[in-house]
Structure 1
Amino acid sequence: MEKTLVYVTGNSVKFDVALKTFENTEIVLLQKKIETPEIQSKSVQEVAMYSARWASRQLDKPVIVTDAGFYIEALNGFPGPFIKFVNEWFSAEDFINLMKDKDNRNINIQDCLAYCHPNEEPIVFTGIYHGKLADKPSMQQGSSIDRIFIPEGFEAPISDIPEEQMISYWSQGEIMSKFKDYILKHK
């Protein structure tokens, strides 16, 4: 098993989460920013698997790729795995307006990590983060969803929480923990 892993992401926070997860292990993580094709699917697992398969073949190395979907219960799971695009189209205020007359403000983030060697099928790890939608958007910088998603255990949206706290929160999530256990047993 490889001791060096390539994490295909342009998101520095995601990479910092992975670094924190693998602290004090022999695993070395390298970040590689490449645009992977993102298929249209209602399944974050299918999106992550496709991207991991593609990236591992392009780089001819084992890679990890993550994808997430934001499922707002009162909106029948909208926007789901399409959050990347919806974040480009909707402001935080647009999300708040969609929820104007809704009592259920629960949001579930379905998180997925796909680990893939070239010419092999990806191995998938999934997890869920729970939270709620804020009554009003944060005034801080951040994506639309970062300005309105309050993770379980917090009183403020992601964009109001110090980055170090969020890195610690995300690094304790299911997918990184499951993947760490897997990779350390198979190295």
Structure 2
Amino acid sequence: MSTQEIVFVTGNSNKLKEVQLLLSSVTNYKLTNNPLDLEEIQDSSLEEIVRKKIQQAVALLPKGTPVFVEDTALGFNALNGLPGAYIKWFVKKMSLDDIVKLLDGFEDHTGEAVTTIAYSDAKGEINIFQGITKGKIVNKRGNLDFGWDSLFEPLAEEGNVESLTYGEMEKEFKNKLSHRGKAFKKFEEFLVKN
């Protein structure tokens, strides 16, 4: 079987490194990166956001280029899923401490981390994959280099028996139970079969 190039559109070097680890067992594709400047669609639906992003990427790349994009959300149950897909902007405009303070006054500090991937194959057919991890929002602990990782503590039922935040976890352990890891596991299974 020949190796085909697949393009991941991201300008986030941390995300690229994590995805390279997550897809390292896919041998029928060679992962490359293109940091295309895609319009950031604002919508509460991750599926709609990635669908619009993949359509833009397909239009900008040579015809027939297999390509994928992803988007991640962090929703607080007490806030009916907000900030959700807008978490990226909250992290840019607020301190991590202030994001946690959004839940002051609420008993419920649980939430969901969600990653949604859109993939367009060489024929332009789009497939969407999603991973969800339930957890709670806590005061920052651990590595602060990757967005809101230090605020999110997956629940024990997700496999986090030591009550670590993503920021405190070793990458390999994090990838096994994270929302991104779950989404890319589905994507990986799809790529291996196709």
TM-score normalised over the length of structure 1: 0.85
What is the Cα deviation at residue 118 of structure 1? 7.0
- CA–CA distance in 2 between the matches of 1:143 and 1:91? 13
Q: Contact 2:8/2:69 (CA < 8 Å) preserved in 1?
A: yes
- CA–CA distance in 1 between the matches of 2:99 and 2:8? 31
Match of 1:137 in 2: 140
Distance change in 2, residues 1:143/1:5 (3 Å): closer
1:121-166: per-residue Cα shift (whole Å, max 9, x none)? Answer: 52111121111111x2237433562231112315232223334543
Greater Cα shift, 123-132 or 92-101: 92-101
Amino acid at match of 1:149: F
Where do 5+ consecutive residues of structure 1 fail to align? none
Distance change in 2, residues 1:116/1:57 (3 Å): same
Match of 1:109 in 2: 113
- Percent identity over the alignment is 25
Distance change in 2, residues 1:50/1:118 (3 Å): farther
Q: Secondary structure at the match of 1:14?
A: helix
Amino acid at match of 2:188: K
Aligned CA RMSD, in angstroms, stands at 2.5
Match of 1:70 in 2: 74
Match of 1:16 in 2: 17
- CA–CA distance in 1 between the matches of 2:118 and 2:185? 13
Match of 2:61 in 1: 59
Distance change in 2, residues 1:64/1:43 (3 Å): same
- CA–CA distance in 2 between the matches of 1:162 and 1:176? 18
2:100 to 73, 77, 96: 96
- CA–CA distance in 2 between the matches of 1:162 and 1:173? 13
1:61-87: per-residue Cα shift (whole Å, max 9, x none)? Answer: 221101011110011111011111111
Amino acid at match of 1:176: F
Match of 2:187 in 1: 179
Q: Contact 2:3/2:28 (CA < 8 Å) preserved in 1?
A: no
Distance change in 2, residues 1:58/1:27 (3 Å): same
1:40-65: per-residue Cα shift (whole Å, max 9, x none)? Answer: 11101111111111112211222110
Match of 1:42 in 2: 44
What is the Cα deviation at residue 172 of structure 1? 7.7
Aligned residues: 185
Where do 5+ consecutive residues of structure 2 fail to align? none
- CA–CA distance in 1 between the matches of 2:3 and 2:69? 16
TM-score normalised over the length of structure 2: 0.82
Distance change in 2, residues 1:171/1:151 (3 Å): closer
Match status 1:79 vs 2:87? no
